[in-house]
Amino acid sequence: MGVCTSSPDPIDAKQQKPKKNGKENDAEKIKLLLLGCGESGKSTIFKQMRILHGKPQSAAELLRLRDIIRANCTMLIVALAHFVKDEASVNALLSAGERKSFDKIVDSVLSDFDDKNVETNANHCMALQTELQLLWKSAAFKEAWSRRASTDAIDGHNTFLDSFDEIVSKDYEVPSHHLLLSRVRTEGVISHSYIIDGAEFEMFDVGGQRYFRKTWFDCFEDVAAIIFVASLSEFDQMLAEDKSKNRMTEALDLFSSVLDNNYFEKTDILLFLNKKDLFANKIRTSDIAAQTDFSDYSGKPNDFDSGVNYFIDKFVAFNEDPERQVFVHITCATDTSNISFVWGSCKEIILESNLKASGLF
């Protein structure tokens, strides 16, 4: 191991390899595969690579991102509104004026909300901006946010509602920190190529939710390295698609399936334990040992280092092959300087492994 600083759909190790596509130049690319569960931060790392080594976003892409961020504002309020609606003690915190706004959100959005429709949700944001802003400042929604582990609220999207006046402005231009926090579900497979230090890297990002994992097989051939991303902060949260399954347990099970897969017998694994900033905040008040799946935790309560080391041990214990390295990095995907530093270390590991595979090292 290298250290720096319901059941899931298992990846079938017996799946037949897809046929080569015949493109000779593909053999010269260093292929990297981003794997992990949904909302782990994979796509944010994918976006960081473009910031660090790719082309700037086009005007059309920035307009699309503006709508995505406005939609994210609506999605956060909707996630919290479900909680406020169902929790009587929290619902009772709404004032008379706030309740009118709340009822408008329930009537206009909550009953038929579609989290896949960016344009509709962006329009909701603009049409209901007064209601959204009022509710975000309410005691009821502050309480719901403090208990967001029980909702589908996305950590980090509080930044958007804290900057709501800016986001709904007609002159709003998406800054890089908003770009990195923006969230739209990855469906299927997307890739980008980068020339870095004279080598061509191709990175693939694939949907992490269970129903997208069947698309992973198309990417398995000739992978130089896997970057597996897991969210440290989700140890006390349940899956959006399966409320009976702990998100960290799902990540552990999925990581085990990756290590057991025949495709990756000789492939180095770069494990990014992500969202360290959110974990640091959460661990102050949330006890790892209080989670049923992690009741064996015996480290210091509410301690960052003890918690991180516990989860490192959980992941690397699945690697039973002494010839295969698992390189662990503790990351914050929204921090460009952190990802730049981590990538520098990963790049050297990948290039060295690629030379060894080519018989040139």
207 known ligand binder: yes
199 known ligand binder: no
Among the listed residues 39, 329, 73, 44, the one whose alpha carbon sits nearest the alpha carbon of residue 176: 44
What is the residue type of 142? K
41 known ligand binder: yes
Is residue 58 left, alpha or beta, with left meaning phi > 0 and alpha meaning psi from -120 to 50? beta
191 known ligand binder: no
Give the pair of three-digit tokens for residue 47: 């976006």
Sheet with 199-206, edge to edge strand ranges = 2-4, 326-330, 268-274, 225-231, 30-36, 199-206, 189-196
6 known ligand binder: no
Three-state DSSP class for residue 211: helix
Give the pair of three-digit tokens for residue 224: 């130089």
22 known ligand binder: no
180 known ligand binder: yes
208 known ligand binder: yes
State residue 257 phi and psi, 5-degree precision: -65, -40
Tally Cβ neighbours within 10 Å of residue 103: 13
**Tally of residues, the chain:** 361
**Distance, CA of 260 to CA of 287 (rounded, Å):** 31
> 264-273 burial string, b = 16+ CB within 10 Å, else e?
beebbbbbbb
176 known ligand binder: no
205 known ligand binder: yes
106 known ligand binder: no
355 known ligand binder: no
Q: Which residues neighbour 84 within 8 Å (Cβ) at sequence distance 6 or greater?
A: 90, 91, 94, 102, 140, 141, 144
276 known ligand binder: yes
344 known ligand binder: no
Give the pair of three-digit tokens for residue 34: 């981003």
Q: Is there a contact between 229 and 47 (Cβ–Cβ < 8 Å)?
A: no
275 known ligand binder: yes
**Distance, CA of 312 to CA of 359 (rounded, Å):** 32
Q: Which residues neighbour 96 within 8 Å (Cβ) at sequence distance 6 or greater?
A: none
State residue 193 phi and psi, 5-degree precision: -110, 145
Q: Which residues neighbour 344 within 8 Å (Cβ) at sequence distance 6 or greater?
A: none
267 known ligand binder: no
229 known ligand binder: no
182 known ligand binder: yes
186 known ligand binder: yes
- Residues making up the annotated binding site for GTP are 39-44, 180-186, 205-209, 274-277, 333
Bind-site residues: 39-44, 180-186, 205-209, 274-277, 333
Binding residues for Mg(2+): 43, 186
